[in-house]
Amino acid sequence: MGISSQSQSSSSGTGDKDTPYLDRVRRNVLRLPEYKIREILANLKFQDTGLEPEDPDYEVKVQLISTVLINEDKEKQAKGAKRQASEGFIPLSQIEHD
């Protein structure tokens, strides 16, 4: 079941429990434009907003940026679901009966 494996925390940092979803998120982090990475890290109050593999905080930064991207994705999904529900939802009180 993919749902249960996605809900597990990968805070251990070992990466041995990565799911395909988390792998995709990590690839998306590494493909982000530099300005977007710097913007996210600045919002997270990092003084060094660069993302370099030799940086001692590299893995921490990647994980934090991943979390930001996941949260943004969840917000978009929630807004989309809310919009779909409001567009397709008709309150019972508005349905006319013969």
The pLDDT value recorded for residue 78 is 83
- How does residue 94 score in pLDDT terms, banded at 50, 70 and 90? low
The pLDDT value recorded for residue 7 is 41
Statement: the pTM of the whole predicted model exceeds 0.75: no
The pLDDT value recorded for residue 90 is 62
Q: Where are the domains of the chain?
A: 17-87
* 12-46: pLDDT as tens digits: 444 555 588 888 888 989 999 999 999 999 999 99
3-state secondary structure string, 19-81? CHHHHHHHHHHHHCCHHHHHHHHHHCCCCCCCCCCCCCCHHHHHHHHHHHHHHHHHHHHHHHH
* 48-82: pLDDT as tens digits: 999 999 999 999 999 999 999 889 888 888 888 77
The pLDDT value recorded for residue 3 is 43
